[in-house]
């Protein structure tokens, strides 16, 4: 299993496919397994690099303060370890925060940006939710109870109405052998609470696709719309599903990602 000595941690990562590098950055509480429905499609066209952020999955979880800028520095260090000079970056939720910081601090290392189910800053609504999640993590709820509580903010009505599919999603999370430790979640959540890039986003000149889910109640579409307006070269796309729309409707999301990145698009006859 590939582990890299990254700054003050050992980072777990995986690679799939070949071609130009594409880095996927996961969100709060998640690990790289959550990209399972994206990697096979994207790896047909790119060298896809996924990893567990500090505090999650198989990466070290030091119990000291985390910042979004620090997680962006982790990402750059992984790129250095893998000899990746420049990559397109897809960031989901908190990973979208990390992607923004990466583009701001190291613009030469980033190609195109995809910012999924994310925002330019955490608003008061999101702050209240994340603080409640921290409180829940500090409670004595079981792993299954935590997963079921969090699921209310992740999935749309169609998935939750499908009892078999919903219970399968719950079981997958509960049975994760690399479930995040409580302190790792809390440290990540505290980093999320400290993020605000609104006054700096004008400096990001990268071509960017901002994607939001119509039913997202964790990071409502208004956040994505605001983000796209603050970025000089951004387009906004509203797709089906809730916060985890890329898991609910993987084909639709993968098609949007590939189209923006210039892959998987059929060229007209006679065009080289």
Q: Are 262 and 19 in contact (CB under 8 A)?
A: no
84 domain residue, yes or no: yes
Q: How many domains does the chain have?
A: 1
88 domain residue, yes or no: yes
Q: What pLDDT score does 264 carry?
A: 58
The tokens describing 112, both together, are 């195109």
Does 139 have pLDDT greater than 50? Answer: yes
Compute φ and ψ for 209, nearest 5 degrees.
-110, 125
CATH of the domain at 88: 3.40.50.1820
Does 268 have pLDDT greater than 90? Answer: no
Does 121 have pLDDT greater than 60? Answer: yes
Q: Convert the pLDDT of each residue in 39-65 to its tens digit.
A: 999 999 999 999 999 999 999 999 999
Q: What pLDDT score does 263 carry?
A: 86
Q: What does pLDDT average to over the chain?
A: 95
146 domain residue, yes or no: yes
100 domain residue, yes or no: yes
266 domain residue, yes or no: no
Least confident segment among 18-22, 64-68, 241-245, 264-268: 264-268
Local structure of residue 219 (DSSP, 8 states): S
Residue with tokens 């430790």: 181
Compute φ and ψ for 74, nearest 5 degrees.
-60, -45
Average pLDDT over residues 139-166: 96
270 domain residue, yes or no: no
Q: What is the chain's percent helix, strand, coil content, to nearest 5?
A: 45, 20, 40
SS3 235: strand
Confidence of residue 272 (pLDDT cuts 50, 70, 90): very low
Does 267 have pLDDT greater than 50? Answer: no
Local structure of residue 204 (DSSP, 8 states): -
SS3 87: strand
Q: What pLDDT score does 269 carry?
A: 39
Confidence of residue 134 (pLDDT cuts 50, 70, 90): very high
Confidence of residue 270 (pLDDT cuts 50, 70, 90): very low
Q: What pLDDT score does 1 carry?
A: 58
Question: How many residues does the structure list for the chain?
Answer: 272
Does 191 have pLDDT greater than 70? Answer: yes
Q: Convert the pLDDT of each residue in 229-253 to its tens digit.
A: 999 999 999 999 999 999 999 999 9
Q: What pLDDT score does 33 carry?
A: 97
Beta bridge partners of 5: 10
267 domain residue, yes or no: no
The conformational region for residue 20 under phi > 0 = left, psi -120 to 50 = alpha, else beta, is: beta
269 domain residue, yes or no: no
Residue 219 structural domain: 3-261
Q: Convert the pLDDT of each residue in 90-102 to its tens digit.
A: 999 999 999 999 9
Distance separating alpha carbons of residues 158 and 139, to the nearest angstrom: 30
């Amino acid at each position: 299993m590939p582990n890299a000595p990254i700054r003050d941690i050992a980072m777990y990562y995986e690679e799939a496919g070949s071609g130009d590098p594409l880095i996927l950055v996961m969100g709060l509480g998640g690990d790289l397994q959550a990209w399972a429905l994206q990697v096979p499609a994207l790896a047909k066209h790119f060298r896809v690099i996924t990893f567990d952020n500090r505090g999650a999955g198989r990466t070290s979880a030091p119990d000291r303060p985390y910042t979004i800028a620090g997680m962006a520095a982790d990402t750059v260090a992984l790129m250095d370890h893998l000899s990746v000079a420049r990559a397109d970056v897809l960031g989901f939720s908190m990973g979208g925060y990390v992607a923004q910081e990466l583009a701001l601090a190291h613009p030469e290392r980033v190609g195109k940006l995809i910012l999924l189910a994310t925002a330019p800053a955490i608003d008061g609504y999101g702050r209240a939710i994340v603080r409640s999640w921290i409180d829940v993590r500090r409670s004595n709820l079981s792993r299954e109870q935590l997963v079921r509580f969090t699921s209310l903010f992740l999935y749309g009505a169609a998935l939750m109405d499908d009892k078999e599919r919903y219970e399968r999603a719950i079981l997958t999370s509960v049975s994760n052998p690399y479930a995040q430790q409580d302190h790792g979640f809390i440290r990540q959540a505290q980093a999320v609470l400290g993020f605000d890039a609104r006054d700096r986003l004008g400096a990001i000149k990268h071509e960017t696709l901002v994607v939001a889910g119509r039913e997202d109640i964790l990071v409502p579409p208004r956040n994505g719309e605001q983000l796209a307006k603050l970025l000089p070269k951004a387009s906004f796309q509203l797709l089906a599903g809730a916060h985890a729309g890329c898991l609910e409707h993987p084909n639709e999301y993968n098609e949007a990602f590939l189209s923006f990145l210039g892959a998987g698009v059929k060229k007209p006859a006679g065009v080289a």
